[in-house]
Chain A
Amino acid sequence: MLLAESVETHAPPRKRRAQTRRWFHRRTLVLGLAILGVLVFIAAAAPLLTPYNPTVQELSNALKPPSLAHLLGTDPYGRDVWARLLYAGRIDISVAVLAVLTPFLIGTGLGLLMGYYGGWIDLVVGGLIDLVMAFPFYVLIIALVFVLGAGLQGVFVAVALIGWVSYARIIRGEVLSARDREYVLAARASGFGDARIVLRHVLPNVVTQAVVFAMSDIVVVMVGIVTLGYLGLGVPAPTPDWGSMIFDGQTYITSDWLIATVPGLAVVVTGLALSLIGDGLADVLRT
C-alpha cells in the first residue's frame, strides 16, 4: 500500500533519480572516468606540477636516480623524466582524441549516406571499406605515415584515412535497420526533406553505437601514436611523447629502468581508463 502510493506520486523524480543511479552504478564507467580525470588534470596542469622544461637538455645532470629535485630522475640527456612524462601525456592524449574525431565525423557521414540511400554510393564506399579492412591496422598506418611523412600531421591524416572505415560500417548497419522504422516513414509522410530526416531523426537514433566504439578506438589510436613515436615516425624528436620516451629509455632498462617503464605504465593506465569508460558507456547506452 505504502509502496504503491510512493510509486504513483513520485513517478517522475523517481525515474530521473533511477537514471542518474544507472549512470553512477556502473563501476567501470565511474572508475574509468576517475582515472582519466586524474590523468587529464595532471597533463593539463603540467606547468604547475613541475618547474622543468621537458625539452631542455642538461647533460651534466644525465641519468640521475629519483630525488626530491627530480621525482623520477633524469634521462640520458639530463631532462627531468616526470616533466617529460606530463608533457608527453598532454600530447598523446589530445592527439589521440583529435585523431579519432576526424574519422568519427567522416565515417558517420558516409555511413549515413550509405545506409539511407544505398545504391551506387553504398557500393563504391563499401568497396573502399573492404579494401581498407583487408590490411592489418598497423601495416597500413605505418605505410601511410611513411608516405605522408613522419610527424603529427602525417599521423593525423593516416589515422583519419583508415579510422573512418569502422564508423562507416557501424553507422551504415544501424541506419539500415532504422530506415524502415515507422518514425522514419512518418517523417517522410510529413513531407520532410531527406537532410532533415537523416540529421534530426536518423542520426540521433543511431549515433550511440559509434560513440561507444569511439571510446575503444581512442585506445587503439593512442597506442598507435605511441607505437609510431617508438618507431621514430610520430611526434618529432625534442617534443616528449611516451613512445619516444620508451625508445630512448630502453637502452638503460637494466640500470635506470624507470625511464622506459614509467611512460610504458602511463600508456597502460590511460588505455585502461579509456577501455573502462568505453565498457561503461556501452552498458549504459545499450540498455
Chain B
Amino acid sequence: MSEPLLEVRHLTVRLRSSRGVLTAVREVDLTVGEGEAVGVVGESGSGKTTLLRAILGLLPAHAEIVEGEIIFRGRDLRRMRRGELRKLRGAELAMVFQDSLTALDPIMRVGDQIAEAPRTHLGQSKSQARATALRLMAEVGIPDPPRRMRAYPHELSGGMRQRVVIATALSCGPKLLLCDEPTTALDVTIQDQILRLMRRLTEEIGAGMLYVTHDLPVIAQLCARVAVMYAGQLVEVGPVVDVFSRPRHPYTRGLLASVPAVQIAGLPLTSIPGSPPDLADLPDGCPFQPRCGFAQPDCLLGTFPLVDLSETRASACTHHELLDGLSDLTAGAR
C-alpha cells in the first residue's frame, strides 16, 4: 500500500482539569488511506472528539499533545507553522460538526457561510464563490438553492442545516473529512439520507474520511475499517465486517450486543455493566477490566497496548481467544 493519507502515531493528549491532569487520548495509532472511510467508535468521554480536534490542531486551551506524530500527506502537522496549518484547514482537512445549529454562525446567511472558505482558500471572487455555494447546495440536496442561500440557519430544518454544514466542509474539495457525529442529532430517515450523501460525495471527490461516533450501525453503513476507543485508548482495530462479526475485544463485543440492529436475532439485548472509567482515576491494568465478563487475574497488571493479530486486525485484549467460537454475544455478560 502506498503512503497513507493520514497517519497518527502514538498520539497522547493530556487535559488539565480541576481534578488534575487527565490523559484523554493515550498512544493512539491510526491510519486513513486515500479515499478510505475509517470509523472510530466509543462512548461519550472516550476521547473521540479530542482525537479529532488534536488532528486539526484545535485543542481547547487546557489540552495539550504531549507525544506523537500526525502525518498528513507526508508532513507532520505538529511541526507545521501556524499559518501553514491554517491554510490546510478548511482546504485539505475539513471538519463536519455534530450540532448544525451551533456549528453555523446564527446571524450569517447560509450561502455566505458556504462561500466563505472558497473565497479564503481558493481565492474565488464574490460571484465565483456564490456560484460555488449554489452548486454545493444543489449537490447536497438542498431544494431551491437561490432562495435557501439567503436563509439564516434557524430558518432551516435540522436536516437542511446539516446539509449546509456538509457543504461548507466540502466547499474546497478536501482530501480528508473529519466527522464528529454529524448525524447524531437527526432523526433516523434524515440520518440515512445524510449518510448516503456523505458517502457519495466523498467517493466523488476521492476524500478520505475519519468518522467518529457512538453509533455502530452508522459505521457499518459508511466505513471500511473501524477503531474502537475506550477510555482514551484504541482497544480494537480492523475491517468493519470482521470486527463486527468476530470481535476480538470484550468491549467491542459488549458494544455489539447492545445494539438492536447488529445484535443476533433472537437473543436478548444486553448492556455493558457499569459505566466508563473516570479518566482521573483509571483502574489498574486493562481499563475495561472492571466491567469485563472475561477478566482474568492478570488483567489487573501491566499495560494493554494494541497488538497485531493479523495484517489487518489488532486488539488490546490479551485473552481475546476466550471470545473464540462464541456466537452468543450475551455470553460472559454479568
Contact = CB atoms under 8 A, between A and B. Distances in A.
B328 interface: no
14 contacts: A182-B99, A182-B102, A183-B104, A185-B58, A185-B103, A189-B90, A190-B89, A190-B90, A190-B116, A191-B88, A191-B117, A192-B116, A200-B116, A205-B106
Nearest to A180: B60
Given A182-B103, A189-B95, 11 more contacts: A186-B165, A190-B117, A190-B168, A191-B91, A192-B116, A200-B108, A200-B116, A204-B105, A205-B105, A205-B106, A205-B107
B74 to A, nearest CB: 19
A191 B95 contact: no
A22 interface: no
Interface hub of A182, A187, A188, A196 (most chain B Cβ within 10 A): A182
B120 A189 contact: no
A14 interface: no
Interface in B96-145: 97, 99, 102-108, 116-117, 120-121
A193 interface: yes
B86 interface: yes
A274 B64 CA distance: 50
Contact of B87 (A182, A187, A191, A205): A191
A191 B77 CA distance: 14
A188 B106 CA distance: 16
Interface in B246-269: none
B58 A183 contact: no
Nearest to A196: B120
B94 interface: yes
A186 B116 contact: no
Nearest to B102: A182
Contacts of B90: 189-192
A188 B95 CA distance: 10
A70 interface: no
A27 interface: no
A240 B104 CA distance: 52
A204 B109 CA distance: 13
Contacts of A204: 105, 107-108
A189 B58 contact: yes
A25 interface: no
A188 B89 contact: yes
B56 interface: yes
Contacts of A188: 58, 89
A185 B103 CA distance: 8
A7 to B, nearest CB: 15
B89 A183 contact: no
Interface band, chain A: 10 to 19
A181 B103 CA distance: 8
Contacts of A190: 89-90, 94, 116-117, 120, 168
B105 A187 contact: yes
Interface of A: 180-183, 185-193, 196, 200-201, 204-205
Contacts of A186: 95, 97, 103-104, 165, 168
Contact of A191 (B89, B99, B102): B89
A137 to B, nearest CB: 33
A186 B108 CA distance: 14
B110 to A, nearest CB: 12
Contacts of A180: 60
A190 B119 CA distance: 11
B107 to A, nearest CB: 5
A200 B165 CA distance: 18
A183 B106 contact: yes
B143 to A, nearest CB: 15
A188 B102 CA distance: 14
A186 B179 CA distance: 12
A267 B58 CA distance: 53
B59 to A, nearest CB: 11
Contact of B94 (A189, A192, A200): A189
B56 to A, nearest CB: 6
A181 B102 contact: yes
A234 B107 CA distance: 42
Given A189-B56, A191-B87, A183 B102 contact: yes
The 10 nearest A-B residue pairs measured at CB: A191-B90, A191-B89, A190-B90, A182-B102, A189-B95, A182-B103, A183-B105, A186-B103, A191-B86, A190-B117
A240 B90 CA distance: 59
A181 to B, nearest CB: 6
B106 A189 contact: no
B23 to A, nearest CB: 22
Contacts of B116: 190, 192, 200
A201 B103 CA distance: 12
